[in-house]
Amino acid sequence: MPFEKVATIDDLDVGSAIAVEVGGIPIALVRVASEVVKAIHNICSHQYYELAPEGCVEDSSIECALHGSVFDLDTGDPRTLPAIDPLPVYTCEISDRDILVDVDRQRNTAQPPRH
């Protein structure tokens, strides 16, 4: 699957996250800086709970609002318990203010959570 437009940069404030879907895959788009957006699987690996839009964004991480697991947006690795399994991280670009995600170009080897 090639890059797919999922939002525009104007849809997302710096330090916030929104939920989108690409090919049936739930994704959290996280804007960490004015021209930097990250894409991570939107379902916490600890329990079935969406990271976006409620998750707290700080630096290059997002915290699950349910139990406080924090995930690194670059590696998908959990930084805190109770989550112990990483999340898939997807390739994301900004082009002419459009946010594009390619779910076939996963940036790590994590498997989507199974709940």
- Structurally, what CATH architecture does the domain formed by 4-105 represent? 3-layer Sandwich (2.102)
Supply φ then ψ for residue 86, to 5 degrees: -75, 165
- Pairwise CA distance, residues 7 & 22, whole Å: 11
Give domain limits for the chain: 4-105
**Rounded Cα gap, residues 58 and 60, in angstroms:** 6
How much is the pLDDT for 56?
A: 97
Strand, coil or helix: 11 = helix
- Residue 73 is predicted with a pLDDT of 98
Q: What is the mean pLDDT of each run of 10 residues along the chain (115 residues)?
A: 93 97 97 96 97 96 98 98 98 97 97 90
What is the pLDDT at residue 1? 65
pLDDT at 115: 76
